[in-house]
Chain A
């Protein structure tokens, strides 16, 4: 019995939305859940992918990108949310657009107890830092959710995080 959907299409959906939104900079701390999307962005000549040492670097980079007239996105795992809190203060104070896609750990079927604290508090931590949070648990709705979030971020100058549920990403199977 596989925990992951057999042919996930949502990474392609997201990449199409990035293209349509004119995303040029993609900052990421690698996550298995984002692996396909990272590869799609890296192969896209219109996008610069930037591997980060910690998620807060990406928040700062996207502020600089937008100051320079480019749109960007941040790809990360829920364990990185806490790393971003202080720099999100700048996003709120300057009302910079921010689009972050967060693949969730520490929720649906999690095996590793160390993932639970940050996973379970990720949404509240982001909301407390002024970020609008969309949670999506259905692979078929990932595309429309990311599209709506991109509109909110870039047209209304808001910080928006899409939390992509562990139910969508699939949980690690430790017995394999």
Chain B
């Protein structure tokens, strides 16, 4: 008997990002990007509008380049499934400052709500555990989420959590989508105007 899913993605992401401090955030294409935008646009957000399957690896490259900053990747189950191998790659590197959070609604939300693999069989936190992530969990209720939010920022990584969320529809909140604008804004905020062009 599957556990009942009650968490709403918008509130989950708002709660996760509320204590973000100077953390750097990469969001997977589609709803995860809209959720982060709805929580409040931020210069330390790198929004993906494509490159499906790449969010976790962008997070790894960023985490290796910025070891003193926490990096959060917030993405969907479909996006993560397309880049499952990247969990094995991250497991080898053991970046202590990287946390991957999958908003797992068990469906492809952008394309007509077809079921993903997590609906029937795939256990993403199990894959992360089996590929060497230090801390992994599947979260179902608000109490678990409240316990885990500080861990996303403070626990030695790599950290992975699949947060089970409902398929309830939410309005699309669209952030910047010009890729060069997003990357310039992100780099200038992180590196300063002098280093940003290098």
Contacts and interface: CB of A to CB of B under 8 A. Distances in A.
Interface string B80-93: 00010110110011
Nearest to B46: A67
B66 A63 contact: no
Interface string B13-57: 000000000001010000000000000000000101011111111
B1 interface: no
Interface of B: 24, 26, 46, 48, 50-66, 83, 85-86, 88-89, 92-93, 179-180, 182-183, 186-187, 190-191, 195, 198
Contact of B62 (A67, A89, A95): A67
Interface residues of A, number: 32
A70 B61 CA distance: 9
Given A63-B58, A94-B180, A96-B183, A70 B65 contact: yes
Interface of A: 24-25, 48, 50-54, 56-70, 72, 86-87, 89-90, 93-96
Nearest to B181: A94
Given A50-B93, A56-B53, A95 B61 contact: no
A57 B90 CA distance: 10
B93 A86 contact: no
Nearest to A90: B51
A65 B89 contact: no
A63 B61 contact: yes
Contacts of B89: 50-53, 57
A25 B182 CA distance: 22
Contact of B88 (A24, A53, A56, A72): A53
B60 A94 contact: no
B64 A69 contact: no
Given A69-B195, A90-B51, A64 B57 contact: yes
Contact of B61 (A53, A60, A86, A93): A60
20 contacts: A51-B89, A52-B85, A53-B89, A58-B57, A60-B51, A60-B57, A62-B61, A63-B61, A64-B57, A64-B59, A64-B63, A64-B64, A65-B65, A68-B64, A69-B66, A90-B48, A90-B51, A90-B179, A94-B183, A95-B179
